[in-house]
A = this chain, B = another copy of it.
């Protein structure tokens, strides 16, 4: 039949699909997402997604790689800003970089869904390796102390979880939910989280 989608170079189309997949996998997880939903989000047909990536598993792996690369790139950019080399200052800059990533819900949620798949024989190792890349970055490139690493990762995971649970939506009606977000991160971060949940 007449192709509805514009004809676009395969390389560019792959990138569109990966962007769509980041959103869909972030929202529904690996098992919950379907190749058809990714295809619709990318504006093309389901078989084409499969043809360009081989399998759903491979699509997820490439999506995971892409989100991890974005995370690391964002951190490295924050570290590269010309600023005093103080460790506390670097911590603040990385924190700000993380908060900017929250704006693109899909990136952080896809990463988190990857971490949750530890028992998968293929995705599990890939996700663990990604986690370790982040760890090494904080240790070797950011020069964080163990305690700084601990705090940074813990705060990140809490943000991820609150984001994934969609508690920002509840915060508009539920007083306790709003309290929780203010309480755990202060008004500024809470506002970012709430905005991203909408």
Contact indicator per residue, chain A 116-131, by CB within 8 Å of chain B (1) or not (0): 1011000011011001
* B153 in contact with A119 (CB, 8 Å): no
> Which residue of B has the minimal Cβ distance to A170?
B128
Complex interface residues of chain A between 159 and 186 (CB less than 8 A to chain B): 160-161, 164-167, 170, 174, 176-177, 179-180, 182-185
Complex Cα distance, B135 from A183, in Å, reads 10
Besides the known contacts A30-B32, A131-B167, A154-B184, 19 further A-B residue pairs in the complex with CB atoms under 8 A apart: A28-B119, A29-B29, A29-B32, A116-B161, A116-B165, A124-B166, A125-B170, A127-B165, A128-B167, A132-B167, A132-B174, A135-B176, A135-B179, A149-B180, A149-B183, A150-B183, A150-B184, A154-B157, A157-B161
Q: Say if the beta carbon of A115 comes within 8 Å of chain B.
A: yes
Copies assembled = 2
A residues at B contact (CB < 8 Å): 27-32, 112-113, 115-116, 118-119, 124-125, 127-128, 131-132, 135-136, 139, 146, 149-151, 153-155, 157-158, 160-161, 164-167, 170, 174, 176-177, 179-180, 182-185
- Nearest chain B CB to A186's CB is how many angstroms away? 9
